[in-house]
Amino acid sequence: MSGLLKAWAIFLREMGAYFFSPIAWIVIFLFLVINGSMFYAFSSVLTGQPRQITMVVESLFEFSIFWILPLSPILTMRLFAEEKRSGSLELLMTAPVTEFQVVLGKFVAAQAFYTIVWASLLPLLVMLEVLGDPDWGPIWALYVGLFFLGLLTNAMGLLASASTRNQLVSAVLALSGNLLLFFLQMGQSLVPEDALEARRWIRFLSFTSHFEGEYSRGIVDLRYLFLYASLAVFFLFLAVRTVEARKWR
Amino acid sequence: MIEVLELSKSFGPVRALDKVSFRAEDGQILGFLGPNGAGKSTTMRILTGFLPGDSGSVRVGGHDVCSESLRVRQILGYLPEGVPIYPEMRVSEYLRFRSRLKGVSRADRRGAVAQALADTHIEDVANRVIGTLSRGYRQRVGLADALLAKPRVLVLDEPTVGLDPEQVRQFRQLLKEVGRDRTVILSTHILSEVEIVCSHVVIIHKGRIVARDTAQSLRRKYGAAERTVAEISGPLSEIVCALGKIEGVARVLSSPLSPGVEPVDASTRFGYHRFTLEAAQTDDLREAVYRAVARGGWTLRELRREAITLEDVFVEIVGGERT
Amino acid sequence: MEMTGKKTAARASFSTRKRWSMRLSFLVGLFLAFYSLFLANGIVFRHPVRIDLTEEKLLSLSRDSLERLKLITEPVEVVIPTLLLRDNPDHLAQHDVLTRARLLLSEYLAAQPLIQVAAEVDVLEHPDRWERIRAEYKLESSQLNRFIFFAGKGRERRQTVTPNDLAFFGSVRDPGTDVPEVKAFRGERAITSALNRLVTVDRRAVYFTQDKGEAQFRPTSEKAVGVGGIRVLLGELDSQGLEGRPLSITGLREIPVDCSVLVIAGASQIFLPEELRVIDAYLERGGKLLVALGVRRTGIESCLEDWGVRVLEGQVQSYIDTPLSKTSHAVVAARQFSRSHPATSIFVNVPRFEVQLELPRPLVPGGKGKGFDAAPILSAVSHRGVDYYLVGLPGSRELPKPADFDLVLAVSQVIPERPPPEFQRRDTRLVVTGSATFLGDQYFLRSSNRDFLMNCLRWLLGDEVRSTEGGTEWTKRTLRTDPSIERYLFWVPIFLLPGIFLTAGVLVYHVRRT
């Protein structure tokens, strides 16, 4: 219980760090300006007449899905690398907290901020609700998918941040991890078409195809959520070990 | 309270600590003296459980820093070198965050923060953002943090670096106050600080303990030693010879002042040299130097006495150990 | 400060051994974590659980489909050869439907792991592969843009689902350029029934009476009296897992026990009282009867009256009144159907529903009853341009007043809301149609004739709950177009919303600095 309280303290401090630094606001601002412009384009011109709401929603997320790539690296690069560089990690780790509590607090903060960034799109969707009658099923499914995928990418970013003292290196590491997952779908073309099992596995692992095939159609496959979450747990485990590593490296 | 036994630590090929052993009892203020790179900070980090040693054992308050790290950290307040605290937080926010982290209960939190603010006299900046504070204030915020959970052991790494003289004076006063009922380890490279504040002194050099003593006996040994510095223009070898002949001079060191930048004496066409004379006893050599210069007809433009610095003490001690 | 070496060794905080053991425990932990990650996901991979969040449950399988999937006990392979020529409007429409159906098929795969997609091949992109698949599965080169299901040893059983099974397409003005609009989607029904046909081994029997001038299994001549052959209908039954069998009612003591539905299609000779008794006895014991009336009275009418269907004299014909011509037709297009009756409610979403009956005899619910209710499920309703008249004989010049006529009635037991204890449930069901021509070979595939008849048969067989579930409409949700709204669409997402966040950021930053 007191352990959770300490993680909570870390969480509060990290949330403060996000909101008190201009970067967070700039990220949200850019996110909204770009997605808002695309939203306008989709809803007024690109989807043709009559303007189909399902297509507006689909196109909006199809476009904004690319934010997954840079978002988590930007949000997580600071978390450990900055503390290592400035030396405040020393102060943090000499307080009576465990590595797990620190990692948990920071991770939850990154996840919360990530969720806030995505939630900033909701007003646009509420506009659709006013102007028409969108099916909220696919929207919620997309959000569920984004949230769980965020668990994975944020955990990966946290691990990258914990393994270096340079924020840029951390961001690049996390980004390459994301890109790997992102382009996994392309790997399907490398596998012979008869290797069905391999193709099934690739499809299972590649989150882009989950967004195309399932979430944007309103389907949530619990397998994928489990996959993301279990990978996230694995990366968090590695992150805890990496922070600990100074003791036995 | 603190017990360090044969602690060794290497960073790659560099041996940072070599079988360091010392202990500090309850109520002691232990000065940990050494030049930069002597292994002070490494020792502090191992003491606080941030880094591991290679071999040896460290116990704080009866707990092993490796296997009972959390217990140790609960009774320990630490001020690291350079005070790396979050610049974007306000002072009071930061202290509240740290008190949460240190497990101060919700009910006591407000009181603990207020107490720490009062102890370190920083109530006036409680609502300022740390990034905008001066170095001295930051140092004191760090100290307030270290004091927060009323730790039984305080580990302070170079706490007076960057403070102005008045702040240093206040800080030492404060340290005496808080040191009454707890064990304090204080690392520094300034001898005077140790003299004023500490009851016990450990001197470390190149990873080895070279002296363990009380502050008083240390002062008796080295405090009065001094040297004389003179800047003279004239033929070098003659001057060295003449100075060497002065009674009581143990050693003469000469160093040329950079030619071109320093003006050449128009009358003699010689450049100035700085001569450092080390005395065997604590006699004032200035008169004798002046007379020697006058006798030689050289030009003298500076003559002063200098208190011996810690570096010199080390040269002394390390040299003495080797012979 | 005295310390012995022994003491030091006994309680060393740090040692090389300790460090190595920590490294080792990290590696072991890493391995275990990795292993359990693999294991857990390997298990989960095989057990898909999918949640459909769409409002209309577009991608949820109905309970019936799921139950039928449970009946599958052998591996089923699916081959999906696709060909998309961008300039072919049919291909574009088919592609749209197949994409949707493919999503739905994923739900089937998720619910029943025995079904596996064996090959999905783009014929244009991988012609060699298509050749190999064709050889392996013995397919024709024209069998494209469809789902082909295989089952059994040596894949001897197969079922095909084509885009026309999956959706209703609208008609187009110019077939060369216009893309047919997808009017409604009925993917679940098509796929479920295909799978059902694939795995059903024991087939239900549908008996057709054959010796009263009814529609013939093997027509003697093209111009046979009555409705002619019903080969198309029999083929359709066959593909639905039903077996059509001829039945001679002359001298018959009892309708066969394995009779699922008895069909009397277009009889033109008189039924003897014994024969009617046999039919009545069959109905009394819970039989299912489909009567498609011929043009003449055959005596079956009195039997129907016992069950609540009265057949009026004369025939209905239509009179089309356009500015250019006024003509009367023997063919009556019945479009009005019951939206609540299970036999026809499935057609609610179908854009153009029409059953073409030739000179049908009008029906009226009523008669003696027996606690049964006859519900009109298909009617011809006069409206502007088309009127319906009841005439004694075709070609009569004298026209009575135009009116509306019920042409098909469905009879089933009335079940009170609170059945008394002595209430007896009876499974007897009847469908009576005013004409039999629509199920003959010439007409069966026209308009909605086939859909209507097959659905009536399903209702008779008691499958109506199943067949009406699924087949969800893919509603189109559109955005209101309005110039005043247009402005908001521009300002709010691009300026107002980001502006709010930017202002908030500047405010926070300002407050924090001071």
Q: Which of B21, B66, B129 sits opposite C14 (nearest CB)?
A: B66
Residues C462 and C410: their CA atoms lie apart, in Å, by 13
- Regarding predicted confidence, which is higher, C335 or C33? C33
pLDDT tens-digit map of B44-62 = 999 998 989 889 999 998 8
Whether A79 shows a pLDDT value over 90: the answer reads: yes
Give the type of residue at A133. D
Query: Considering only A45-49, A225-229, B318-322, C177-181, which range has the smallest mean pLDDT?
Result: B318-322
pLDDT for the residue A21: 83
For chain B, where are the alpha helices, taking DSSP H only?
Answer: 40-47, 69-74, 91-101, 106-119, 135-147, 165-178, 191-197, 215-222, 236-245, 286-296, 310-322
8 Å CB contact between B26 and B3: no
State which of A167-171, B127-131, B308-312, C147-151 shows the largest mean pLDDT: A167-171
**pLDDT-derived band at C468, boundaries 50, 70, 90:** very low
Alpha-carbon distance values, A81 to A154, C44, C425 (Å): 14, 35, 77
B76 to each of A209, B64, B242, C13, how far by Cα in Å? 52, 13, 57, 18
**B101 CB-near residues (< 8 Å, 6+ apart):** A6, A9, A10, A92, A95, A96, A97
- Residue A56 clears pLDDT 60, i.e. is over it: yes
Residues B72 and B60: beta-carbon distance below 8 Å: yes
**Is residue B223's pLDDT more than 60?**
no
Which amino acid type is present at position C492?
A: V
pLDDT at A50 over 80: no
Instruction: Please judge whether B129 and C7 are an interchain contact, meaning their C-beta atoms are less than 8 angstroms apart.
Output: no
Residue B150 pLDDT: 87
Average pLDDT of the residues in C184-205: 78
Q: Which of A111-120, B63-72, C76-85, C407-416 has the lowest mean pLDDT?
A: C407-416
Q: Which of C13, C20, C22, C510 is the best residue to mutate to test the B interface, defined by the most B CB atoms within 10 Å of its own CB?
A: C13
Query: A41-55, B274-288, C153-167, C228-242 — which is least confidently predicted?
Result: A41-55
Torsions phi, psi of B275, nearest 5? -115, 130
Of B49, B86, B103, the CB nearest to A94: B49
Chain A interface disruption, residue of C491, C492, C494, C506, most A CBs within 10 A: C494
Q: Using a CB-CB distance cutoff of 8 angstroms, which residues of chain A are in contact with residue B80?
A: 87, 90-91, 94
Q: Does B259 touch chain C (CB under 8 A)?
A: no
| CB of A6 less than 8 A from some CB of B | yes
**How, if at all, do strands B2-11 and B55-60 pair?**
antiparallel
Nearest to C159 by CA among C225, C78, C104: C78
CA distance B288 to C200: 124
Most C CBs within 10 Å, among B4, B43, B57, B60, to test the C interface: B57
Asked whether the beta carbons of residue C479 and residue A196 sit closer than 8 angstroms, the reply is: no
Residues 48-67 of B with CB under 8 A from A: 48-52, 66
Provide, rounded to the nearest whole percent, the portion of chain A with pLDDT above 70: 96
Q: Tell me which residue in B22, B58, B88 faces C13 most closely, judged by beta carbons.
A: B58
Q: Is the ipTM of this complex over 0.85?
A: yes
**Model confidence band, residue C24 (pLDDT cutoffs 50, 70, 90):** very high
Neighbours of chain A (3+ CB pairs under 8 A): B, C
Task: Report the C-alpha gap between C437 and C443 in whole angstroms.
Answer: 7
In angstroms, the separation between the Cα of residue A117 and the nearest Cα of chain C is 11
- Signed CA dihedral, C127, C133, C135, C138: sign only: negative
What integer pLDDT is reported at residue B210 of this predicted model?
81
Does residue B282 sit at the C interface (CB-CB below 8 Å)?
no
- Write out pLDDT tens, residues C39-85: 999 999 888 888 888 877 777 787 778 888 888 888 899 999 998 88
The pLDDT tens digits of the residues spanning C367-378 come to: 666 778 888 898
pLDDT, chain C, mean: 80
**Closest residue in C to B23 (Cα–Cα):** C1
Q: What burial letters (b/e) apply to A1-40, b meaning 16+ CB within 10 Å?
A: eeeeebbebbbbbbbbbbbbbeebbebbbebbbbbbebbb
The first and second tokens of residue C405, run together, are 């006529």
Per-residue pLDDT at A20 exceeds 80: yes
Closest to B303 measured CA to CA, from B267, B264, B261, B275? B275
Average pLDDT over residues B180-198: 82
Residue with more model confidence, C340 or C1: C340
Is A96 close to B74, i.e. CB distance below 8 A? yes
Q: Given C8, C18, C512, which is nearest B5 (Cβ)?
A: C8
> What pLDDT was estimated at residue C30?
94
Residue C209 has pLDDT above 80, yes or no: yes
Of all residues in chain C, the one with the smallest CA distance to B6 is C8
Spatial contact of C388 and C404, defined as CB atoms under 8 Å apart: yes
* Measured distance CA(C284)–CA(C328) in Å, rounded: 41
Cβ C139 vs Cβ C148: under 8 Å: yes
| CB-CB under 8 Å, A94 with B73 | yes
Structural domains in chain A (count):
1
Interatomic CA distance for residues C441 and C236, integer angstroms: 11
pLDDT at residue C469 greater than cutoff 50: no
- Domain carrying residue A129: 2-246
Query: Residue B317 — pLDDT band, cuts 50, 70, 90?
Result: low
pLDDT at B310 over 60: no
Residue A229 CA to its chain's centroid (Å): 12
Q: Does B70 touch chain A (CB under 8 A)?
A: yes
pLDDT at site C326:
74
pLDDT band at C471 (very low <50, low <70, confident <90, very high): very low
Q: What are phi and psi of C270, to 5 degrees?
A: -70, 135
Q: Is B111 on the interface with C (CB under 8 A)?
A: no
Average pLDDT over residues B291-300: 87
Rounded to an integer, what distance in angstroms lies between the CA atom of residue C130 and that of residue B43?
73
pLDDT score of C5: 43
Sign of CA dihedral A5, A9, A15, A16: positive
Mutation choice for B interface testing from A15, A20, A94 by most B CBs within 10 A: A94
What pLDDT, on the 0 to 100 scale, is given for residue B238? 84
Q: Residue A132 corresponds to which tokens in the numbers above?
A: 């028409």
Is it the case that residue B24 has pLDDT exceeding 80?
A: yes
How many residue pairs from chains A and C have C-beta atoms closer than 8 A?
171
Is A9 within 8 Å of B88 when comparing Cβ atoms?
Answer: no
Query: Binning pLDDT at 50, 70 and 90, where does residue C467 land?
Result: very low
User: pLDDT-based confidence at B312, cuts 50/70/90?
Assistant: low
Nearest CA in chain B to A6: B101
pTM for the predicted model, two decimal places? 0.71
Query: What is the percent of chain C where pLDDT is above 90?
Result: 9
What pLDDT does residue C9 have? 44
* Residue C50 to residue A219, Cβ atoms within 8 A: yes
Interacting residues of C269 by C-beta distance below 8 A, sequence separation 6+: C211, C212, C213, C298
pLDDT (tens digit, 9 = 90+) per residue, C409-424? 888 887 777 777 777 7
DSSP for C408-430, please give it.
Answer: EEEEEE---SS--TT------EE
Q: Tell me if the bond preceding C420 is cis, omega within 30° of 0.
A: no
pLDDT value, residue B311: 59
Tokens 């009071």: give the residue. B92
Which H or E run contains A82? helix A68-86
Q: Does B97 touch chain A (CB under 8 A)?
A: yes
Least confident among A173-177, B11-15, B223-227, C487-491: B223-227
Does residue C106 contact residue C80 with C-beta atoms inside 8 Å? no
Angstroms from C139 CA to nearest CA on chain A? 18
- The total of other beta-carbon atoms located within 10 Å of residue B145's CB is 27
Q: How confident is the model at residue C13 (pLDDT cuts 50, 70, 90)?
A: confident
Query: What is residue C203's predicted lDDT score, i.e. its pLDDT?
Result: 67
**How far apart are the CA of A108 and the nearest CA of chain B, in angstroms?**
16
Q: What is the mean pLDDT of residues C343-370?
A: 78
**Closest-CA residue to A60 (of A149, A120, A110, A112):** A120
Of C324, C258, C264, C323, the closest CA to residue C289 belongs to C264
Which among B22, B55, B129 has CB closest to C12?
B55
A48 band by pLDDT with thresholds 50, 70 and 90: low
Which residues pair with residue B279 across a beta bridge? B249
For residue B78, the Cα-to-chain-centroid distance in whole angstroms is 16
> Quick check: C18 contacting B, CB < 8 Å?
yes
Cβ of A85 under 8 Å from any chain B Cβ?
no
Average pLDDT over residues C91-110: 86
User: How far are the Cα atoms of A100, C41, C169, C336 from residue C30, in angstroms, in the given order?
Assistant: 16, 17, 57, 70
Instruction: Of B278-287, C252-261, C407-416, give the lowest mean pLDDT range.
Output: B278-287
Predicted local distance difference test score (pLDDT) of residue C463: 64
Q: What's the pLDDT at C26? A: 92
Q: Is the pLDDT of residue A49 over 70?
A: no
